[in-house]
Structure 1
Amino acid sequence: MTPASPLIERFSLSGKRILYTGAAGGLGLETTLEMLAMGAMVIAIDNDCDKVARLHAAVPEAHRAQLHLLEIDLADHVLLSHRLQELTQDQALDVVINNAAIYPSKPFEDYSLEEMRQVHAVNVEAALACTKVALPGMRAQRWGRIINISSITLSGGWEHLSPYVQSKGALMGLTRAWAREFGKWGITCNAVSPGAFPTDAERIHPDPQQYAQFVLDHQAIKRRGNATDIAAAIVFLASDASAFVTGQTLPVDGGWMMN
């Protein structure tokens, strides 16, 4: 038998404990399944009962013992922190993926300040809470991966998403700040910026076919992205293969935005 390449071994997630918010969503489910298949233990947080049921049903029997589902409202930061502290009392988290987000859509002047705060509470403050709980364990073991999910909407090509765009900009800023601050402990922090993927988020558009054509017209690659495209990027950033990459944002958008 040919021995595994050392480079391939660096992509392994075997035995890693991964916290993943929004893990049952359109892009989250496939990534969760991939990480389980690669030997990771996944603490999946989602509060959409239907999506959680679909995730549970999709997990092969052989991997179910590796999945820990938490149905928590991410805006309840006290409960979130308490549950995560219980889960990390005896064993550290190796990877945190801050993915969950809400995305109301309407003109800026129609948002109340409370509605804007609610978006920030879920999209940003939950990420702060998750990272704060995970950091001591990562620091003690001198290894960790923090992955923030940003968005192509930061390019300014979409209307009526001001609080969502603001929240994703905050995550990109935190990515750079955390990368600088945590690097001395062997912890990397990067962001993934998905393009326009066909998920539930597209339901806010009144003409799906026209919107799909709009997406293809802007992409260099003339197909719609799929969840495995995002899963591959997240697996790379969660593994040892990305050990010398930090403070970066990886666009996964078919060549829409080119830096």
Structure 2
Amino acid sequence: MSLTGRRILYTGAAGGLGHQTTLDLLAAGAEVFALDRDHAKNAALIADTPADLAARLHPVEVDLADRPALQSVLDGIVAAGPLDAVINNAAIYPSKPFEAYSLDEHAMIHAVNVEAALICTKAALPGMRGQGWGRVINITSITLSGGWEDLSPYVQSKGALLGLTRAWAREFGKWGITVNAIAPGAFPTDAEKIHPDPEGYNAKVLASQSIKRRGHAGDIAAAIKFFLSEDAGFITGQSLAVNGGWTMQ
């Protein structure tokens, strides 16, 4: 599948799932504006990008909770040309009992996981509307299905993204813009470091899934590339679970 000429904004692009997907998008011909606040992960992404693709990778180190900084970055990107797609992937993932979260912590999780998606999508919308084509992909989570404790602000934020997926799909469709969600299952990324018993958690994941292997970033990359493609042009407002059959809809 070719994405030649497509300008894609990708938040959390250097993280556990984002890193490989960014490389796959570049390999498919896209120009990727890769937003991530982690300096070491950004450096690793740059190092892993083949030399012949490097000119189309634009890594940007920015904290998505810093609204003025994020807006400044986005203003510069869209001034150079319209964005074809936005992938709202970045998220923070703290874990503790509900009553232990302060309201400020709730606000910070919402700022990164939801408000940044609002800002990025709003920045890209005029260009997409003007060209009569666009793709927005929101990365949600298997945790929306229930069964996970100590993650209430994170689950709340992903529920908000799912609601926005449906609302934006209804509103943006008349301009040729599709909006869909991808709900990853349990992938072996840094997010799993919150679990005190990694081996036990790994065994639990495999026991819960129908497919008896751990998911990898390429599984998410394939779903993202599908939603970016012309083949998905009549699909909008949907949520695709990529979880090895842990939950089924």
With the shorter chain as reference, the TM-score category is over 0.9
1:209-254 Cα distance to aligned partner (Å, 9 max, x none): 1101111111110000000000000011112121010000000000
Offset at residue 257 of structure 1 (A): 1.1
Kindly provide the CA deviation profile for residues 6-35 of structure 1, in whole angstroms up to 9, marking residues without a partner as x: xxxxx3211100000000000000000000
Match of 1:190 among 156, 180, 186: 180
Tell me the equivalent position of 1:5: none
For residue 220 of structure 2, give the secondary structure of its aligned residue in structure 1: helix
- Residue pairs, 1:87-106, within 5 angstroms: 87-106=77-96
Indicate yes or no: 2:233 matched with 1:243.
Answer: yes
1:164 equivalent in alignment to 2:144:
no
- How far residue 156 of structure 1 moved from its aligned partner, in angstroms, is 1.0
- Counterpart in the other structure of 1:201: 191
1:128 aligns with 2:118: yes
Alignment of 1:130-145 (within 5 A): 130-145=120-135
Q: 1:32 and 2:18 equivalent?
A: no
Does structure 2 retain, via aligned residues, the 8 Å contact 1:12–1:240?
no
* Deviation at residue 111 of structure 1 after TM alignment: 0.3
Tell me the secondary structure at the aligned position of residue 206 of structure 2: helix
| Counterparts of 1:241 and 1:215, CA distance in 2 | 32
**Alignment pair present for 1:252 and 2:247:** no
Deviations 1:91-114 (A, max 9, x none): 100000000000110000000000
Q: 2:104 aligns with which of 114, 132, 136?
A: 114
CA deviations on 1:91-147 (whole Å, 9 max, x unpaired) are: 100000000000110000000000000000000000000000000000000000000
Query: Unaligned regions of 5+ residues in structure 2, if any?
Result: none
1:223 aligns with 2:200: no
Asked whether the 8 Å contact 1:18–1:40 carries over to 2, the reply is yes
Verify: 1:21 aligned to 2:43, yes or no. no
SS class of match (1:88) = helix
State the distance in 1 between where 2:82 and 2:227 align.
18
User: SS where residue 160 of structure 1 aligns?
Assistant: coil
Retained in 2: the 8 A contact 1:17–1:93? yes
Counterpart for residue 6 of structure 1: none
How much does 1:89 deviate? Answer: 1.4
C-alpha distance after superposition, 1:168-196 (max 9, x if no partner): 00000000000000000000000000000
Name the residue aligned to 1:72.
Answer: 62
1:157: how far off?
A: 1.4
Comparing 82-91 with 163-172, greater Cα deviation is found at 82-91
Partner Cα distance (1:184, 1:90) in 2 = 25
**Taking every aligned residue pair, what percent have the same amino acid on both sides?**
67
Counterpart-to-counterpart distance in 1, 2:125 and 2:63 = 21
Which one-letter code corresponds to 2:235 in the other structure?
V
1:255 is aligned with what amino acid? Answer: G
Partner SS state of residue 53, structure 2: helix
Deviation of the 1:90 alpha carbon: 3.4
3-state DSSP of counterpart to 2:191 = helix
Structure 1 distance, partners of 2:87, 2:27, is 17
Q: In the TM superposition, what are the counterparts of 1:49-60 in structure 2 within 5 Å? A: 49-60=39-50
Query: How far 1:81 moved relative to its partner?
Result: 1.4
Contact 1:120 1:163 in 2 (8 A): yes
Give the Cα separation in 1 of the matches to 2:49 and 2:89. 20
Contact 1:193–1:249 at 8 Å: present in 2 too?
yes
